[in-house]
Amino acid sequence: MPESSTRDPSRSSIGTASSYLSNVSNFKIIESTLREGEQFANAFFTTEKKIEIAKALDEFGVEYLELTSPAASTQSYNDCKAIVNLGLKAKILTHVRCHMDDAKLAVATGVDGLDVVIGTSSYLREFSHGKDMQYIIDTATEVIQYIKGEGLEVRFSSEDSFRSDIVDLLNLYRAVDKLGVNRVGIADTVGCASPDQVAELVRTLRGVVSCDIECHFHNDTGCAIANAYAALQNGATHVDTSVLGIGERNGIPPLGGFVARMYAADKEYVKSKYNLSKLRDIENIVADAVGVSVPFNNYITGYCAFTHKAGIHAKAILNNPSTYEILRPEDFGMTRYVAIGHRLTGWNAVKNRVDQLGLPLTDADCKQITNKIKNLADIRPLSLDDVDKLLRKYEEAKSDEKHHAILESIDTPDQITQWQ
């Protein structure tokens, strides 16, 4: 059997990583639209909208939902309790400062766990909270022991991890790991890290702690998804995402983009975990809530994601979609579209449309029509409706041997548009 017919087309045959550290096929998503996403410039979620988003993400299948700290406001506290009371399958977490008052308030909401954070870089220690590393360790010990005493899940994370002193960082993680935290977290708070730097830090950390490792990557320099993937390859277990990547500044890994990356790494694993066809609905809910449009080139759901235009591409796609698609649109409830009303079109794409319309035209007919479409598209692109009108008009005229005259009589696309 030919190799091309047996190999999974969604996976690269070059440089595939296989490591005993890798969790590419064993990871969990901590979905932070209702925490990190609230920090997006346009974001204001009512209680009703938060509940709608939480239910949609739960239906998609994320393992965790992370909520804004109940210490942020009275409404944030009440919203936390409201989502806890929904009885969702996903575990409910809230993100709090490393402070006993915040921890006690969070525990009172009934959440499943607390994500505790404190800044560790010299920048944050000097210009944010002003505390030294020993104070951080002492405070972390008090807060973690309290949370564990309440029987809740706890993650402890540094903030601005990649600009923190590595010795300080590892000593801190070693100390909290001994206290029995469920996860330690690393955060690229300013988006400065590269995949190589992520790989090195996560590998090093994996050798220091026995607990799980969560990663939070900002996208200021465009590496958030790649960094998340590098983290999983090297021993991380949990990745933070938000719908459409919304968050502080340029946000964090978008849920859809991260899922696309992981689908390409292990399609069956991702399909078994998540209800992929729900992704578009979730993105539309969030986009509407924050007053933005889903980008044209958005991962999976953007209107260009499965649109094919160039003639050579279209021919191959029509023969075997895997030639130019690493993702199967039908797995995500999407459909592919072959654009044909433009100067780059090819006759195979036109013939495919002829077949869809059930018109009895030959390959020679399709080639002649394609040449006319190309000429007209040098003036402006033709809509699919224009192309369909042309195909039908040509087929009708062919019975009277007037089909060549029809093509010769058309000088502009507007003539076709005006046909009834």
Residues with catalytic function: 313
- For residues 246 and 282, give the distance between their C-alpha atoms in angstroms, rounded to a whole number: 13
For β-strands 212-217 and 91-97, DSSP reports them as unpaired
b or e along 41-62 (b: 16 or more beta carbons within 10 Å of the residue's beta carbon)? eebebeeebbbbbbbbbbebbb
Contact yes or no for 289/45 (Cβ under 8 A): yes
Neighbour count for residue 204 (Cβ, 10 Å): 15
- For residues 420 and 309, give the distance between their C-alpha atoms in angstroms, rounded to a whole number: 27
Contact yes or no for 178/197 (Cβ under 8 A): no
- For residues 100 and 104, give the distance between their C-alpha atoms in angstroms, rounded to a whole number: 6
- For residues 170 and 111, give the distance between their C-alpha atoms in angstroms, rounded to a whole number: 28
Instruction: Kindly list the distances between the CA atom of residue 284 and the CA atoms of 243, 244, 274, 301, in Å, as whole numbers in the listed order.
Output: 10, 10, 18, 10
In eight-state DSSP terms, residue 295 is P
**DSSP notation for 35-84:** TGGGGSTT----HHHHHHHHHHHHHHT-SEEEE--TTS-HHHHHHHHHHH
